[in-house]
Structures are given as structure tokens and as C-alpha cells.
Amino acid sequence: MQIKRLKLSGFKSFVEPAELRIEPGLTGVVGPNGCGKSNLLEAIRWVMGENSPKSMRSGGMEDVIFAGTESRPPRDFAEVILHAEDDHGEELDVTRRIERGAGSAYRVNGSDVRAKDVSLTFADAATGAHSPALVSQGKIAQVIAAKPAERRQMLEEAAGIAGLHVRRRDAESK
């Protein structure tokens, strides 16, 4: 799967709608401290279904919504749209939106879907919020220090079989 475009609005420091093109190959993000590099990577994780506030560096999920500054009022929603192409050339548009007091809603190619459908879509394509393809600050050191079970999880995600565990847990609980 290849991420082609990312659109952000009201997400963390990206208060005004912003659109980024992502070219094939390795993409690095550079810029001065505090300019939003980590926020950008978090936006990719978030639209892929990340739900741990810790990996979003926030207390609660609503903290991803632009909180306002001295000169700008806070926003009441955050939205990230990821446009990708899968390995068969099919286009994929995934939207996640969170409104204050209303939680998150997901859409895939214009239809409302569950969070789980989004996670599975990415897991089957060997990517997702925890994909080793998204290298954030401190990640290299973390991989080196990982326990074998954690390293196995990374390998399974890279191999595209992480979705199978979710489906097995589902099947076993029925």
C-alpha cells in the first residue's frame, strides 16, 4: 500500500486545512523544533485507528483537536483524510473525524465504517498504526531494546498477518 495524500484539519497544530503529497519511497520529515513533525506522523497513525492516547502524546482522544492559542480560538473537531493506493492499484480514502463530546467516526471511500474495519483494512495490507514503516522519534532505540514477544509483533505486522489474530480472537469469543 502506498500513501499518496494526507489532509489534515484541526488536528493538533494543523489548525488550517493542510494537504500533503507523499511520493513513493522513503519520506523524511524535517523542520525546526515544535513545527509539527511528530504531529504529522501521529495523524497518519490516528487515521489508521490508533486509540492509545499515550502514543498520541495526549491525555484523552479529544486532545488531538486544536486546543487554541493566544490568538486563535480552539476548534471543535479534528479530521484527517488519508488517500492511498493498494497493491492492486485500487484507490482507498479513509477519513477519521472526532468532535468534542461525540467521539470518532470513520469513513472508507465515502461509507461509514467501524474502527475495526479500518484497522483490519490496514493490517491486511501489512500496514497500520503500529507499522514499522512509520518511524517516529525514539523508535530505533525501542526496536533494539524490544523483548522477543514485542519483536515478533513487529514482524507479524510487517508480514501482514496481524489481522488474523484479531479475526481469531473474534471467532473464539463467539
Annotated binding site for ATP: 32-39
Q: Distance of CA 19 to CAs 9, 62, 81, 151, 161, Å?
A: 9, 22, 9, 34, 31
Conformational region of residue 103, where left means phi above 0, alpha means psi within -120 to 50, and beta covers everything else: left
Q: Is residue 55 at the binding interface for Mg ion, with CB under 5 A as the rule?
A: no
Our CB check for ligand ATP shows the closer of 63 and 99 to be 63
Work out whether 39 is an interface residue with ligand ATP (CB under 6 A): yes
Binding of ligand ATP at residue 33 (CB under 6 A)? yes
Q: Is 38 in the site for ligand ATP (CB under 6 A)?
A: yes
Q: Cα separation of 25 and 133, whole Å?
A: 11
> Which span (58-66, 103-111, 120-128, 143-151) binds ligand ATP, by CB under 6 A?
58-66
End-to-end CA distance of the chain: 31
Q: Does residue 36 touch ligand ATP according to CB under 6 A? A: yes
122 binds, options ligand ATP, Mg ion, none, Cβ within 5 to 8 A by partner type: none
